[in-house]
Amino acid sequence: MRIGMVGTGYVGLVTGACFSEMGNRVVCVDIDKEKIEKLKKGIIPIYEPGLERLVKENYKKGNLHFTTDIKEALDNSEIIFIAVGTPQGEDGSADLRYVEAVAKEIGELMEKPIIVVNKSTVPVGTADRVREIIQRELDKRLEEGKITPEKHQELSQFDVVSNPEFLKEGDAVNDFMKPDRVVVGADNPTSMEKLRRLYRPFTMNRERFIGMDIRSAELTKYAANAMLATKISFINEIARIAEQVGADINKVRIGIGSDHRIGYHFIYPGVGYGGSCFPKDVKALIKIAKSAGVEPKVIEAVEEVNRTQREYFINKILGRFGEDLTGKTFAVWGLSFKPETDDMREAPSITIIKALTSRGAKVQAYDPKAMEMAQKYWLKDVPVEYFPNKYDALNNADAMILVTEWKEFRSPDWYEMEKRMKEKVIFDGRNQYDPTHLRELGFEYYPIGVGNLTNRKREG
């Protein structure tokens, strides 16, 4: 098929590249000229395993094209995806200005009926809004004499479909190629069948294509992310209880995760969820609920637990070193909100580092992929020193703080760490290490949700 993809961010680029891998002709559009020129040269703006190869190979084959001209995509596509950002507004709702701008351009420039697919995460009712905007522009073209009544009637046969994405950053290419499910909301049976055919190469092993009405599809994305966020906040709240009553959350997690109705996924205690989806989508769902006259008490509690979980972890550090951190040095391992990505949107590391530096601490940071993002955007005004490897970041540190569970942090050289650190203190925001082993090595160890953990402070 011939596909247009408006937006070359995380969702648009992964989706476009994966469609092109199956032989579809995909035209990716973005208003950022510099980004488009880099993509033509095979320079990827984000880190996502496997994506660079897909982009380079399919661009070379001619299956994948990049342009700043949306009309080029409209003229050469039968389906066009809207995959632009929907940032969080001041009131917590999704900001639809970019989605609406694309809809306006489609209505202004389309020369044949087309299926418009909302791939961006959008509130319930957005498909109706996109349809209205496109139709309004078509009506305007008719009134101004730019198209004939016959052409207007032909173009008005366009359709709008919802196709929310369920990609995990760090494993997005694999998620797209082997999806758990593909959700499509459409009112027109012809559009539904065309989307079913488009996704057939990805759903051949077993039926994963789920068709439904448009509004149900729009709500499904928010509901899915809110459910996963709920599991994270739930286990973090249980971890706080475990620590206070002398239990071990790691053992509790195994005990409840063995129930197949609960499962082990997303019940790892830590410093809370982050990224571009969960924080924004939970807040947006709260806004959607309240706008509909519903008080979302459970979902509001999920958001509140996540917000305070970072404070809970910071208070562990302050409980050990005091409120005034002047003269103290902390090594931070991990900046991205999760492993296998350079994404730092809503990353717990931001909150933690700002809390430390605001109290006079020196922060020495290392992350395998996210340091450039930190320096340029998320921590650009914060006094952080960055290091080329995890051990250099430990030099003369009073403590190491593990924030992101990258694989290279799982089995460090404890003897190398001891040589470099001023004090043998570890704050583990992901419960990666064995408390008994670290105590035997003489480390003070502060995980999350483990009660009655006796720490031996370094003597001398």
Residues annotated as part of the active site: 277
Tokens of 453: 């953990």
Render 147-214 in DSSP notation, one character per residue: S-HHHHHHHTT-EEEE----PPTTSHHHHHHS-S-EEEE-S-HHHHHHHHHHHGGGSSSS--EEEE-H
Side chain identity at 355, as an amino acid letter? A
User: Which H or E run contains 311?
Assistant: helix 297-321
Cα gap 341→325, rounded to integer Å: 30
Continuous H helices in 209-261: 214-245, 249-257
Cα gap 127→129, rounded to integer Å: 5
Q: Virtual CA dihedral for 190, 194, 197, 202, nearest 10 degrees?
A: -120
Dihedral sign for Cα 110, 113, 114, 120, please: positive
Q: Phi/psi zone of residue 76: left (φ > 0), alpha (ψ -120 to 50 degrees), beta?
A: alpha
Side chain identity at 301, as an amino acid letter? A
Give SS3 for 16.
helix
Whole-number Cα distances in Å, 175 to 18, 44, 255, 319: 10, 19, 28, 41
Side chain identity at 321, as an amino acid letter? F
Please name the residues in contact with 97: beta carbons below 8 A apart, sequence gap of 6 or more.
none
Cα gap 151→258, rounded to integer Å: 61
CA end-to-end span of the chain: 71
Q: Using an 8 Å Cβ cutoff, are 43 and 4 in contact? A: no
Strands (DSSP E) found in 272-415: 329-333, 362-366, 384-386, 399-402
